[in-house]
Structure 1
Amino acid sequence: MNSSEIRQKFLDFFASKKHHIVPSAPIVVKDDPTLMFTNAGMNQFKDYFLGNKPAPWPRVANTQKCLRVSGKHNDLEEVGYDTYHHTMFEMLGNWSFGDYFKKEALPWAWELLTDVYNLPKERMYVSVFGGDEKDGLPADEDAFKIWKKILGGEDRILFGSKKDNFWEMGDTGPCGPCSEIHIDLRSEEEVAKTPGKELVNNDHPQVVEIWNNVFMEFNRLADGSLVKLPAQHVDTGMGFERLCMAVQGKQSNYDTDVFQPMIQFVAEQAGVKYEDNEKTDIAIRVLSDHIRAIAFAIADGQLPSNNKAGYVIRRILRRAVRYAFTFLNFKKPFLYQMVPVLADQLAHIFPELKAQQAFVQRVIEEEELAFLRTLENGLKRLDSLNETFKGNQNRIDGKTAFELYDTFGFPADLTALIAKENGFSVDEEGFEIEMQAQKNRSRNAAQTEQGDWILVGDDVPTEFMGYDAISTEARIVKYRQVKTKNKTEYQIVLDRTPFYAESGGQVGDTGFLESDLSKVKVLDTKKENDLIIHITADLPLDMEVPVLARVDEERRRLIQKNHSATHLLHAALREVLGTHVAQKGSLVNDKLLRFDFSHFTKVTESQLRDIEAIANQHIRQSIPLDEKRNVPIAEAKQLGAMALFGEKYGEFVRVITFDKNYSVELCGGTHVPNTGEIGLLKIVSESSVAAGVRRIEAYTADQAQDYINNQLEQLESVKEALGAQTNLTAAIEKLLSENNSLRKQLEQFELKQLTTLKDTLLSKSQEIAGVKLIAEKVEVSSSNYLKKLAFDTRNAAGDNLCLILAAKIDNKPQLAVMLSDNLIAERNLNAVNLVKELAKEIKGGGGGQPFYATAGGKETSGLAAIPGKAAELVKSLLAK
């Protein structure tokens, strides 16, 4: 049974049990501040468990893309070394939202594994929750009794600890006891030696958990306490890769057809044989695993970057490049070549990667190129520190190792590997101290203390009224306090609201909550899963009386103009540049619109003019808004609506149309009633954001008019300054020509001055122990002229020259040291050592080569002491 058949049999089985099959949510989480990535199949259903939103179906099943490389669930360091840990993996799952519970879920799990997949019953063990005194929870006797009946005895049932048999998504949120199913894949000989029951949950590579049935009964609060959920739910998760290993009778996930196409491709390209060498095997597994996480994260909208989720993806990518570079000898980008293999393999179940294959490849290739340069620079840095290491007992100190990590993005394990190859070691403890210090700084800067929700009224879902109204009477449902380092805020949930919560690139509304007793300003509105949260600095005086929720109308109006203009801009981009253009991010506020899109080259000025003209043409046509709500997703796609990659759409969607032949998009934001209200769109910048991603910023309405007027005013000022009221271009060209001519004359003059200065320096040479020392403060206009003066003087002086120059350039002190080659070989002088010592006078530092080195500093007053200090320093060195 191949992996595609295994996956389909799971979905078909639960469809036969009246489960609705839903698509995978994106791997990148956008509306849940507690998560960066989807780390479990239940993430997209969190609100159903909490009761924040009614579930559209009582039973669902799917396969979910998951990523576990950060936070509580972090498997990164095990990936490649063992047979069953992964970064990105598929989680097969079935859920019940207040419908069935243990007595249905557990028999179904056993039926699927034994009757459909024909896994041997005698090789499977189950575990149930054994209770926990701290939380006051008893052992799960109900699950035990059900399993005892299914198995016909209790020999293969284990009571597990809270660690193993109480599932929690994170520090807070839905949770509950769970029952795991484990399978023993060892040989008959090994089974005879050691019973499988003894190896359950002991990290044995062939005795592994394949399915976890979680019984969601509780919600973990911020204070650590547990409260009962409104209803009992079932949340199961079965690792697809492990299931394939079991069904296909393999000893490793990597031996299944989930990974083998990728593994064989990498091995062939690297010119090695898989299962021939441990180090290359680990590297091949790392690449075959990591490319899945990297590619799907990018396809779902998360570009590699230096912070948050983007940094996690960059870290995974760099870890893969490090293994490819070190163990498989890939010195040029290679990971991007793996994308087509993966995209073809999973096109039938995850078509989003195939649809964006070229874009994903481009992003990965550029990231690889950047890090390979980093590797090269880091290696040079290590080479330059060789002498330092030798003088420090052949050990790289923790601070230096951390500098390589922090400045060059050099993984600590790569530093250790290269150091070992050169006979060094790394102060790992010192590195960890530096790393922890940085984490503490970041944590202290952004520490947030979030309280639990306090109910005021009935905990009902918020009804959003914002498409039709900017104010409405509402009641406060609940609130909580949030403390950061510098302030305290409150988050308020209403039973109904006109406030739009930040999402889809559109910023959250501001406004007021008003009653007869008080008026509280809403500073922002955000979404947490499906909660609409109003952020305030204060609470209303009486939380139980109705309030008037009123949006800042003028600000909302400007936001709507920019949002609708974004749709028109998107359509214009596709018309001018091609249908490959797809939204990769946006920001819509009351000041501007910012639109990121996939495109591989700079947008030319001519293209920008065409794009702007097309968008403005549709603005002037005053096209009325065609808004359709609760449209079945299939019908919306038939209408031609563009769905954004990385967005999670339900069964019913909202379609925004401005001319059915021009702009049709799925969108939850607010818009103008007709395009004429936008007034004008003016593109003000176009730039690169990342590989294959461009960014346009634009103004609309009054902001656009103000921008144009400002540009015209500047143009008039330039005309007036140049005295050119008619042909400004000719006047500028004349000015540039005159400027170039004067610059050449000035350069010639300065070069003559340098010749004179060189002769003056040579006349001031003093002899010290056979060395011609010239140490002077000089006046030059640039660093390039200082360098030229040094080289010209050396060429004229010949052997035995020690030249030390001090200059004030652009109000900053600079030093230059030049030595004749024979002084380096015969007198053991070194320009780098000299310049570093002299730089102390100007509170600076420098470096270079043994014959020529430079330094900069902060203290220009120290330049006067350089000639005297230089003479003393050279005398002392020559006297040794």
Structure 2
Amino acid sequence: MNSAEIRQKFFDFFASKQHQVVPSAPLVVKDDPTLMFINSGMAPFKDYFLGNKPAPYKRIADTQKCLRVSGKHNDLEEVGYDTYHHTMFEMLGNWSFGDYFKKEALHWAWELLTEVYQLPKDRLYVSVFQGDEKDNLEKDQDAYDIWKTMIAEDRILFGSKKDNFWEMGDTGPCGPCSEIHIDLRSEEEIAQVPGKDLVNNDHPQVVEIWNNVFMEFNRLADGSLVKLPAQHVDTGMGFERLCMAIQQKRSNYDTDVFQPLIQFIAGEAGLKYGENEKADIAIRVMADHIRAIAFAITDGQLPSNNKAGYVIRRILRRAVRYGFTFLDFKKPFLYKLAEVLADQMAHVFPELKQQLSFVQRVIEEEENAFLRTLDNGLKRLDALEEKFKENNNTIDGKTAFELYDTFGFPLDLTALIAREKGLKVDEAGFSVEMEQQKNRSRNASASEQSDWVVVQPDVTTEFVGYDRDEATSHIVRYRQVKTKNKSEYHLVLDQTPFYAESGGQIGDTGYLISETEQIEVLDTKKENDLILHITAKLPQNVEAEFKSQVDAERRNFIRKNHSATHLLHAALRKVLGDHVQQRGSLVSEKLLRFDFSHFAKVEEAQLREIEHIVNERIRQSIPLEEQRNTPIADAKGMGAMALFGEKYGEFVRVIAFDREHSVELCGGTHVYNTGQIGYFKIVSESSVAAGVRRIEAVTATVAEDYVQQHLNELHAVREVVGTQSNLSGAVQKLQEDYKVLQKQLEHFELKQLSSLKDSLVQQAQQLDGVNFVAEQVEVSSSDHLKKLAFDMRQVVDNLVLVLAAEIDGKPQIAVMLSDNLVSEKSLNASQLVRDLAKEIKGGGGGQPFYATAGGKDSAGLQAVPAKALELIKNSLKI
């Protein structure tokens, strides 16, 4: 049974049990501040468990793309070394939202595994929760009693809270779980050690394949457990492990989930997989990591230097360095794997195939950048090699951390290179530096969040902001959040006109007004499906009735900019081509920013055409066509554009400005006709990542102000130039005149420099066969100071030259020595300039024959010549 058949049988089985099979949510999390990526099958359904939002179906089944490389679930360092840990993996799951519970879940799990997949019953073990005194939880006798009707009691094991109580994080839905494990060892191995002794002991052949979680509790911030409004079932079966079991392999990597990638990598490397352990690890790392990288980019997360983007960049660089070190891939290679993966997954995750050229372009550019970084890091190591040899053949911890932090060298790569050079690494020193950085990061981001205080239980929020700027509201729940610098409150209302930041549109601001007080709403954000109204203080009476009032003028500017992004998107596709896809946006009251896939700079003529098309649509005053709660299939039938990486439900909101021009799925606020936008002006076009361009633009009165400002500047230039007609010609004439004057000035300064050189030659003092010159001079630039020093070197033998000068208000020192004085007299310009730099409160260095220094105190320049004379006399022992 191949992997595609295994997945489909899972879907078919639960469809027969009245489950709605739904597509995977995007890998990248948009509205949950506790997660960067979906790390479990249940994460997309968190609000259903908490009761924040009703589930669209009582029973659901799916395969969910998951990523575990940060936070509580971090498997990254095991990936490639063992047989069953992965970064991105599929989690097959079946879900009950207040419907069936333990009996059905466990019976169906057993039926699917033993009757449909025909896994041998004598190879399976199950575990149930043994209870926990700290949380006052009893053992799960119900699950035990259900299991013993299907499996021998000696195969039912009690497990600790660590293994049999599932929690997605420090807070949130949780509950006891019952795991199913399989023993994949040979008969001979089983005869030596019983399988039950190896369950949950990290044995590569005795592995968990399915976890049935019984969601009954919510873990609060204070650590306590409270009952959820209803009982739910959350199951997760690792697809890759399931394939290993069904296909009777000893490693996930031996299944057809990974073998197409593995064989492609091995073939390109000229190797045979399975013959060299280090090469095999590298091949597994690359085969695993390309899945996480490709699907994260597909779902909207580009590699970057912070947060989720940094996680993806880190995974990508880990794959590149393994290929670089162990497979001799010195040129970009990883991007080629994306095509193999896209073909393999097209039937279940078609989004990668649809965006393949874009994903490959991003990966290839990242590979190129990191390979350059690797090269620079290696050069840095080479330059410091002598220093390390003087340091007991040890690369100090600070340098090792610099290589990690600046060049992306993990400690094991630095250690590998060190061994090749006969060096070792101060790993303890590295750990100290790493911990200091982590502490800085923790201190910067530390926050304390209270549990929710519920004012009105079982009440959800109704958003009325599409039609109104005001509403009558009551507080449903609230909490306090404290950070290092501030304290704020998050209020949830029963009815709100405030739009929460989403889809690139920033959140509304405004006021909550009661009979006795007015509370300013500083921002509005989403947390899953909760709308959070952020305030600096808590209302005195949280049970009062409030008039919730949006800042209507600010929102009006936001609406104009948001509608303009839709018109811009359509214009971009018309001018540049259908390959253009939105890759990110920001819509505020001040401007709009639109990121899109395109592989070349947008030419000036194209920008003007795009701008003209948008303004033409504005002048046409096209009315808004809005359709709420439209079945998603109907919306796509209208030609509505769905954005990659966005999660859409069964029903969506369609925004159209003339269906021939712009039809999109969108949850934001918009103008009622395009004429309200007024005017659209592009202010910049730039690159933000490989294959991604950015346009920033302004609308309405902000656009008018922008144009007027430039007209004012143009008028001022005309006044200065003294012409109202041929301005470009007049400016060109000024530039030509400037170049002529620059050449004349340069000629004059060089003549002065030559005269100064002749004067300094005459001032040379004889010191024990050395021609010593030390003077404070006047020169116009550092380049002239350097030229003067090298010119002196050409005409004066046995030269010791010290020049001090103030250049652009800052003190500088230059020291020049003849080569023979360096070798015969052991003089060193670099050491000499460092000593002299103390006079100007600065520092410097350079080569043994020429060195420079800068400082902060120009008054100290006067003392430099005398100090230089003293230092040279001491060196020459005069």
| Change in 2 beyond 3 A, CA 1:879/1:235 | farther
C-alpha deviation, 1:182, in angstroms: 0.8
Residues 616/96 of structure 1: CA separation in 2 closer, same or farther (3 Å cut): same
In structure 2, give the amino acid aligned to 1:509.
D
Identity %: 74
The residue that corresponds to 1:216 in the other structure is 215
CA distance in structure 2 between the partners assigned to 1:509 and 1:292 by the alignment: 38
Equivalent position of 1:860 in the other structure: 858
3-state SS of paired residue (1:808): strand
Cα displacement (A) at 1:118: 1.4
Name 2:815's counterpart in structure 1.
817
Please state how far the C-alpha of 1:748 moved relative to its aligned partner.
1.5
Q: Distance in 1 between matches of 2:165 and 2:521?
A: 39
Q: Relative to structure 2, which stretch is displaced further, 426-435 or 779-788? A: 779-788
Once the 2 structures are TM-superposed, how far is the Cα of residue 110 of structure 1 from its aligned partner?
Answer: 1.1
Distance in 1, matches of 2:815 and 2:107, equals 82
Partner of 1:370 in structure 2?
Answer: 369
Distance 2:179 2:387 in 1: 54
Match of 2:430 in 1: 431
Cα gap change, 1:826 to 1:359, in 2 (>3 Å): farther
Distance in 1 between residues matched to 2:821 and 2:341, nearest whole Å: 61
Summarize deviations over 1:392-420 as a string: whole Å, max 9, x none: 22222222222222233332222222222
Q: Cα offset for 1:847?
A: 4.1
Deviations 1:519-562 (A, max 9, x none): 11111110000001111112222211221111111111111000
Which residue type is aligned with residue 799 of structure 2? Answer: L
Rounded to whole Å, the distance in 1 between the matches of 2:295 and 2:549 is: 41
Contact kept? 1:459, 1:478, Cα under 8 Å: no
CA separation in 2, counterparts of 1:58 and 1:219?
20
Distance, in Å, in 2 between the alignment partners of 1:505 and 1:176 is 35
1:655-710 residue CA offsets vs partner (Å, 9 max, x unmatched): 10001111110000000000000000011111111111111111100100011111
Residues 456/389 of structure 1: CA separation in 2 closer, same or farther (3 Å cut):
same
Give the whole-Å Cα distance in 2 for the aligned partners of 1:88 and 1:766. Answer: 74
Is 1:676 matched up with 2:682?
A: no
Query: Using the alignment, how far apart are the partners of 1:92 and 1:826 within structure 2?
Result: 77
Q: Which amino acid aligns with 2:867?
A: K
Matching residue of 1:46: 46
Q: What residue identity is the alignment partner of 1:603? A: V
3-state DSSP class of the match of 2:65? strand
Distance 1:314 1:630 in 2: 38
The aligned residue for residue 127 of structure 1 is 127
Aligned partner letter, 1:811: G
Which amino acid is the alignment partner of residue 596 of structure 2? Answer: F
Equivalent residues in 2 for 1:734-745, closer than 5 Å = 734-745=733-744
1:362-401 alignment, distance < 5 Å: 362-401=361-400
* Counterpart residue number, 2:717: 718
Aligned to 1:645: 644
Cα shift at 1:825:
4.0
1:419 paired residue number: 418
Deviation at 1:251, TM superposition (A): 0.9
Shift of residue 257 of structure 1?
Answer: 1.1
Structure 2 counterpart SS, 1:527: strand
Letter in 2 for 1:119: L
* Structure 2 CA distance for aligned equivalents of residues 670 and 460 of structure 1: 24
Q: 1:588-609 deviations in whole A, cap 9, x for unaligned?
A: 0111111111111111111111
After TM superposition, the structure 1 = structure 2 runs for residues 60-75 of structure 1, keeping only pairs within 5 Å, are 60-75=60-75
Which letter maps to 2:30? K
1:111 maps to 2:111 = yes
What does 1:91-490 correspond to in 2, within 5 Å?
A: 91-151=91-151, 153-490=152-489
Q: Deviations over 1:807-860 (max 9, x none)?
A: 322222333333434444444444444434433443434344444333333333
Q: Counterpart of 2:153 in 1: which secondary structure? A: coil
Q: Deviations over 1:256-302 (max 9, x none)?
A: 11111111111222222222211111111111111111111111111
The answer to whether the Cα contact below 8 Å between 1:397 and 1:430 also exists between their aligned partners in 2 is: yes
**Counterpart for residue 512 of structure 1:** 511
Q: CA separation of 1:723/1:219 partners in 2, compared to 1, >3 Å: closer, same or farther?
A: same
1:490-527 deviation per Cα after TM superposition (whole angstroms, max 9, x unaligned): 11111111110000000111111111122111111100
Query: Structure 2: how far apart are the matches of 1:36 and 1:702?
Result: 38
* Counterpart position of 1:594: 593
Q: Distance in 2 between matches of 1:762 and 1:160?
A: 89
d(CA) in 1 for partners of 2:631 and 2:586?
27
Q: For 2:786 and 2:831, how far apart are their aligned partners in 1?
A: 18
Deviation at 1:611, TM superposition (A): 0.7
Secondary structure, counterpart of 1:200 in structure 2: coil
**In structure 2, what is the Cα distance between the partners aligned to 1:857 and 1:275?**
61
Which amino acid counterpart does residue 60 of structure 1 have in structure 2? I
Report the CA distance shift for 1:408/1:866 in structure 2 as closer, same or farther (over 3 A): farther
Amino acid at match of 1:359: F
* CA apart distance, 1:478: 0.6
1:536 aligns with 2:531: no
Structure 1 distance, partners of 2:97, 2:684, is: 49
Structure 1 residues 869 and 370: alpha-carbon distance in aligned structure 2, compared to 1, 3 A threshold = farther
- TM-score of the superposed pair, with normalisation by structure 1: 0.97
| 1:82 corresponding residue in structure 2 | 82
1:627 is paired with a residue of what secondary structure?
strand
List runs of 5+ in structure 2 lacking aligned partners. none
Supply the distance in 1 between the matched residues of 2:251 and 2:284 (Cα, whole angstroms): 11
1:46-89 C-alpha deviation (Å, 9 max, x unpaired): 00000000001001111111100000000011111111111111
AA at the equivalent of 2:858:
T
How many angstroms apart in 2 are the aligned matches of 1:732 and 1:200?
Answer: 81
Which residue of structure 2 aligns with residue 835 of structure 1? 833
Q: In 2, distance between residues paired with 1:639 and 1:440?
A: 52
Deviations 1:368-391 (A, max 9, x none): 222222222222222222232222
Displacement of 1:632: 1.0
User: For residues 830 and 276 of structure 1, what CA distance do their matches in structure 2 show?
Assistant: 55
Partners of 1:272 and 1:777 lie apart in 2 by: 67
Contact kept? 1:817, 1:835, Cα under 8 Å: yes
Q: 1:429, CA displacement in angstroms?
A: 1.8
Moved more, 368-377 or 620-629: 368-377
SS at match of 1:286: helix
Question: Quick one: structure 1 residues 678 and 408, their matched pair in 2 at CA, closer, same or farther if it must change by over 3 Å?
Answer: same
For residues 347-382 of structure 1, give each alpha carbon's deviation from its aligned partner in whole angstroms, at most 9, with x where no partner exists.
111111111111111211222222222222222222
Q: Once the two structures are superposed, what CA deviation does each residue of 1:557-577 show, in whole Å capped at 9, x if it has no partner?
A: 111000000100111111111
Q: Could you tell me how far apart the structure 1 residues matched to 2:250 and 2:855 are?
A: 62
- 2:331 and 2:589 mapped to 1: Cα distance? 45
Matched-pair contact (CA < 8 Å) for 1:95–1:234:
yes
SS in 1 for 2:14: helix
Rounded Cα–Cα distance in structure 1 between residues aligned with 2:57 and 2:13: 17
Q: 1:246 to 1:853 in 2, by over 3 A?
A: farther
Instruction: Provide the residue aligned with 1:629 in structure 2.
Output: 628
Q: Provide closer, same or farther for how the CA distance between residues 367 and 760 of structure 1 changes in structure 2, counting only shifts above 3 A.
A: farther
Deviating above 6 A after TM superposition, structure 1's stretches of 4 or more consecutive aligned residues are: none
Secondary structure of 2:503's counterpart equals: coil
Q: How far is the alpha carbon of 1:254 from its aligned partner?
A: 1.0
| Alpha-carbon distance change, 241 to 865 in structure 1, aligned in 2, over 3 angstroms | farther
Secondary structure in 1 matching 2:149: helix
Local SS of the residue matching 2:148: helix
Q: CA deviation at 1:877?
A: 4.2
Equivalent residue of 2:154, what SS?
coil
Shift in alpha-carbon separation, 1:527–1:767, aligned structure 2, 3 A = same
Mapping of residues 681-760 of structure 1, within 5 Å: 681-760=680-759
Corresponding position: 1:666 with 2:665? yes
Post-superposition Cα deviations, 1:585-636, rounded to whole Å, max 9, x if no partner, equal 1110111111111111111111111110100000000000000111111111
SS at match of 1:596: strand
- Structure 1, unaligned stretches of length 5 or more? none
8 Å CA contact 1:602, 1:687 repeated in 2: yes
Deviations 1:411-439 (A, max 9, x none): 22222222222222222222222222222
